[in-house]
Each structure stands twice: as C-alpha cells, then as structure tokens.
Amino acid sequence: MHKIFLGAVVLIFILALFSLASMKVEAATYSSGDLIKGESFPSVYYFAENGMRYVFPNEKTYFTWYENFDDVITIPDAELGSIMIGGNVTYKPGYKMMKITTSNKVYAVEGGGVIRWIKTQEAAETLYGTAWNNWIDDVPDAFFTNYREGTSIEFAADYDKNHQATLFYTINHDKGFVYEGL
C-alpha cells in the first residue's frame, strides 16, 4: 500500500511539472522585437534579443521608432513582471534631433544612445532641411541620463543621419545586440 501511495505522489509531481512547463511555453507568445505591455499598466516595452524588456520613457521616444501602437501585445501583469528591465529605449538614431529643456544645445542622435552637439545652425539646416527646428524634441532632464555625449558636429559632413538610421534600424541594433556592418 505504501509503494502505491508513493508511486501516486511521484506521478502527481511529474504531471504537475509537465503542466507548469507547458503553461510557461503557452504564456511566452512574444519574441525578440515585440512590443509588449501589461494588462494593468500603460507603459510599453521593447522585448529585446537579450531576453529583457526596455522601457519607452515617453511617447516622443516611442514615435521615433514606430508610427502607432497597433503591434503592441498585452500580456499578463505577472508575466510582464517576470521579465527583467534592461534599461530605457533612446531616440532612433538619425531620425530627430533633441535637446533638454534647461539648455539650448541641440543634439543629433547616434546608435547606442550617443548624442552629438550640432554646433551651428548651418550644419543643422544641411542635415535636417530649412525647417530643421521642427525636427527637435525637448527631452525631460531626467531622461537625458540615458544618453552619453560624443564628439560635436561642426559641419554637416561630420554626421550622416541616413547611415545612422540604416545601421541602427531596430532597437536590438541600437542596443548592440545585433550588428550587421554596412
């Protein structure tokens, strides 16, 4: 009788393990490059190649990468909470310029969250057109720490926004998880 009871306990334990394993597979319906959010929270995240989620700190940052929210997948809050946060998403390289509210310096964005001060209006106009000032976003000071300063741009030839946009066309590329040299 004791052996039958022990066998039943072991069988129940094995079935429970299989049941939990299959639940996890069914729950993970997203993959690298997916946009995810929890059921109860408005924040949108990028699920990266390294298995972590990256936060869009605001809509301005989001809209440098995407046109709308159509592809955002809602997942259970508990599942979202089980995915480690890797950091914040930064502006898409080459797309827009940025500045912080407490400074007049305007920056171009490169891959990996590198910002480069555009020193002259002529350089900005050559890079972004005569309406260049329409391509500047004010970034809250708190988010400015997501970036690191690179060399300044003296002349438009010092920066190729199209090359930046081509080289870092996904957040995985921008974060350095995927590199395809051009």
Average pLDDT score over residue span 42-46: 97
For residues 69 and 144, give the distance between their C-alpha atoms in angstroms, rounded to a whole number: 24
Digit-coded pLDDT (tens) for 70-115: 999 999 999 999 999 999 999 999 999 999 999 999 999 999 999 9
Q: Residue 132 contacts by C-beta under 8 Å, 6 or more apart in sequence? A: 97, 121, 124, 125
Sheet with strand 53-55: strands edge to edge: 72-75, 35-38, 45-47, 53-55, 85-88
Q: Which two tokens stand for residue 154?
A: 């003296």
Instruction: Using only the alpha carbons of the chain, give its radius of gyration.
Output: 23
Q: What's the number of CA atoms in the CB half-sphere (13 Å) around residue 32?
A: 11
SS3 content of the chain, % helix, strand, coil (to 5): 40, 20, 40
Average pLDDT score over residue span 55-75: 97
More confident residue, 55 or 1: 55
- On whether the pTM is more than 0.75, the answer is yes
